[in-house]
């Protein structure tokens, strides 16, 4: 084959990841590029899309160089990205302002007003999702009410992957899997709803045409080729939501199969071939045609451990050279001897408010049960257990909605921890299998490119060739009994503390 590789681009929350794949899913080369999240005010979380592009360009060049891969050997490029961006560009394609990201809850009052004026039920009937400040919808209207000088210059609103596709090809698109960010998107039809656009006050001119995730939207331009190091003329597909691409990369392509998310955010995605919506959860189209994903999306996933390591692991970082172990591995070892249930320490992982199933922008992270006998190991394990408890909360809501998960396919950085994965299995009562967790998301993006350019004949062939199970976990029934009690306390803790979590200015 003259062009033996596919390239996947992942626009994550803390960094972009680039991976070049052989046809069988093996990684030929990979690299990453960091960029910051800005927190200018409480409840705000935003990023600069131009910094994404700079990081992507640097990481592509690094991956190609270190892998000794020629740009012309890339058969196609796929892009996935974080959800619910609101990237405002003008007619010349210039980014007008930083985009609020999925953790941003500044537009709560706008949601409250629209749910009252239009009716939350009417919005849900079209969108299949409740109107919450994390979504793209209210962010657009926040621009209108708070940045009119920006709003009047908007030509289009893009999502994270469509912005990178635009930078690569000059094509302005909206893939179907990211449509769920806007409540004027008809979740049954996969199309914009003109009447709901009018009611919400979102101009249809802002919204790009919707395409399937494996559609070739264009080819790398000469300008983009000079900036990122790819070959001009390389096909680029629309790509999709990071969770949906990770779901594909984990081998979830049939109804009932389920991905467990272990990246910055936590949660799960259950594949369905029928429409099933629940206001506690998140419904979107899969990147695989003809399928939906019923999702649980939480703010407390692998990012909880990233935060804990940054704030409390100075000793472990200083010990890395002596021990030959990363700080995260050392934290994992501190947590391992702690008994299930952490001797009563429970962590509520609501580190940026919380999304499903509680949808509370004011929710706060909480450690409960500390005393002088507790150690850093207790706190680390409580973080792991808290994230797993939030996963169980979402899975139970999904089951009540008629979508039951049988086996979870884990992906993301936290799936590298055998301890954390076993804790999730014990708490949820679900068997967990682990494909190549670090590359599932970029692999999913690359598979979209492969199907789009004919590298694979269909998704069945792509999954069979590329997805390899590396290990499996089964729930420990004795631990599950302990965790049933912990889960009850976890739920009651949140319910008891909810009135105190309301934002206050001291």
All CATH 3.30.420.40 domain ranges in the chain, comma separated: 5-250, 302-400+478-499
Cα separation, 472 vs 424, whole angstroms: 12
CB neighbourhood size of 259 (10 A): 30
pLDDT at residue 438 is higher than 80: no
Three-state SS for 410? strand
pLDDT tens readout for residues 193-225: 999 999 999 999 999 999 999 999 999 999 999
**What angle separates helix 327-335 from helix 376-400, to the nearest 10 degrees?**
80
Instruction: Please report which helix (H) or strand (E) contains residue 169, including its range.
Output: helix 160-169
Q: What are the tokens at 97? A: 């302002």
Cα separation, 148 vs 499, whole angstroms: 34
* Count of all residues that appear for the chain in the document: 506
pLDDT value of residue 1: 54
For 322, counting Cβ atoms within 10 Å of its Cβ (0-12 exposed, 13-18 middle, 19+ buried), the class is: exposed
Mean pLDDT of 8-15: 96
Which among 365, 298, 359 has a CA at the least distance from the CA of 120? 359
Mean pLDDT of 273-278: 96
Percentage of the chain lying above the pLDDT 70 cut: 99
In DSSP terms, 260 is beta-bridged to 268, 410
pLDDT at residue 506 is higher than 70: no
Fold of 302-400+478-499: Nucleotidyltransferase; domain 5 (3.30.420)
| CATH annotation of 5-250 | 3.30.420.40
pLDDT at residue 503 is higher than 90: no
- Which are the contacts of 484, defined by CB distance < 8 A and separation ≥ 6? none
How far from each other are the two terminal CA atoms of the chain, in whole angstroms? 65
Q: β-pairing, 240-241 with 74-81?
A: parallel
Contact 117, 152 (CB under 8 A): no
Contact 424, 432 (CB under 8 A): yes
What is the pTM assigned to this prediction? 0.91
CB neighbourhood size of 146 (10 A): 12
pLDDT at residue 412 is higher than 90: no
CB neighbourhood size of 155 (10 A): 15
pLDDT tens readout for residues 123-181: 999 999 999 999 999 999 999 999 999 999 999 999 999 999 999 999 999 999 999 99
pLDDT value of residue 112: 97
pLDDT tier at 265, thresholds 50, 70, 90: confident
């Amino acid at each position: 084959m003259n062009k033996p590789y596919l390239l996947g681009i992942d626009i994550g929350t803390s960094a972009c990841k680039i991976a070049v794949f052989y046809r069988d899913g093996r990684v030929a080369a990979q690299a990453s590029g960091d960029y910051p999240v800005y927190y200018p005010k409480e409840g705000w979380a935003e990023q600069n899309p131009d910094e994404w592009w700079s990081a992507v360009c640097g990481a592509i060049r690094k991956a190609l160089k270190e892998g000794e891969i020629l740009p012309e050997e890339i058969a196609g490029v796929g892009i996935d990205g974080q959800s619910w961006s609101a990237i405002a560009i003008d007619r010349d394609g210039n980014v007008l302002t930083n985009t609020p990201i999925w953790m941003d809850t500044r537009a709560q009052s706008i949601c409250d007003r629209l749910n009252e004026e239009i009716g939350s039920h009417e919005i849900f009937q079209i969108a299949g999702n409740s109107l919450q400040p994390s979504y793209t919808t209210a962010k657009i209207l926040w621009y209108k009410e708070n940045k009119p000088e920006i709003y009047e210059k908007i030509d289009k609103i893009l999502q994270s992957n469509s912005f990178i596709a635009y930078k690569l090809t000059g094509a302005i698109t909206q893939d179907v899997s990211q449509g769920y960010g806007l409540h004027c998107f008809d979740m049954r039809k996969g199309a914009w709803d003109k009447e709901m656009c009018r009611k919400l006050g979102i101009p249809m001119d802002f919204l790009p045409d919707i395409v399937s995730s494996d559609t070739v939207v264009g080819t790398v331009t000469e300008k983009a080729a000079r900036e990122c190091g790819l070959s001009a003329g390389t096909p680029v597909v629309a790509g999709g939501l990071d969770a949906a691409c990770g779901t594909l990369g984990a081998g979830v392509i049939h109804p009932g199969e389920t991905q467990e998310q272990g990246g910055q955010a936590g949660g799960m995605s259950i594949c369905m071939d029928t429409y099933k919506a629940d206001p506690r959860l998140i419904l979107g189209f899969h990147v695989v045609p003809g399928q939906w994903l019923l999702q649980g999306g939480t703010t407390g996933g692998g990012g909880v451990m990233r935060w804990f390591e940054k704030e409390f692991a100075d000793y472990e970082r200083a010990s890395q050279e002596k021990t030959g172990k990363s700080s995260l591995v050392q934290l994992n070892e501190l947590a391992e001897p702690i008994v299930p249930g952490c001797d009563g320490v429970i962590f509520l992982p609501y580190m940026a408010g919380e999304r499903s199933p509680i949808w509370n922008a004011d929710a706060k992270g909480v450690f409960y049960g500390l005393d002088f006998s507790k150690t850093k190991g207790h706190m680390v394990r409580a973080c792991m257990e808290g994230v797993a408890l939030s996963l169980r909360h979402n899975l139970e809501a999904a089951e009540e909605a008629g979508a039951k998960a049988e086996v979870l396919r884990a992906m993301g950085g936290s799936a590298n921890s055998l301890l954390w994965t076993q804790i999730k299995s014990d708490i949820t009562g679900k068997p967990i299998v682990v494909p190549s967790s670090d590359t599932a998301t970029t692999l999913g993006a690359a598979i979209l490119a492969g199907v789009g350019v004919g590298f694979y004949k269909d998704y069945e062939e792509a999954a069979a060739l590329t997805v390899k199970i590396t290990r499996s976990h089964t729930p420990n029934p004795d631990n599950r009994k302990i965790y049933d009690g912990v889960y009850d306390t976890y739920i009651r803790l949140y319910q008891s503390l909810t009135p105190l979590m309301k934002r206050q200015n001291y």
